[in-house]
């Protein structure tokens, strides 16, 4: 058994509690735009691969 001192677990999305409210509001909209761009990019790449084959 390993009884050494462990590092605290790092979470995937750290809490934004205590951050600037204006930053949090803008961050939400920025993430939404990023997701839309990624969806558009994956859809266009699928269309290109379908045409190539």
1-53 confidence digits (pLDDT tens): 678 999 988 888 889 899 999 999 998 888 888 888 889 888 887 776 666 65
Contact 24, 14 (CB under 8 A): no
Domain count, the chain: 1
- What's the pTM value of the predicted model, to 2 decimals? 0.46
Residue 37, in any domain of the structure:
yes
Domain extent for 39: 23-52
Q: According to the model, what pLDDT value does residue 48 have?
A: 66
Q: According to the model, what pLDDT value does residue 50 have?
A: 66
Contact 16, 24 (CB under 8 A): yes
Residue 34, in any domain of the structure:
yes
Q: According to the model, what pLDDT value does residue 53 have?
A: 59
Exposed/middle/buried for residue 46 (C-beta within 10 Å: 0-12, 13-18, 19+):
exposed
Nearest Cα to Cα of residue 30 among 50, 16, 44: 16
Contact 38, 30 (CB under 8 A): no
């Amino acid at each position: 058994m390993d009884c050494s001192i462990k590092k605290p677990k790092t979470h995937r999305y750290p809490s934004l509690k205590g951050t600037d409210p204006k930053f949090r509001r803008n961050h939400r909209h920025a993430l939404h735009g990023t997701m839309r761009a990624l969806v558009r990019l994956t859809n266009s790449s699928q269309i290109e691969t379908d045409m190539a084959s």
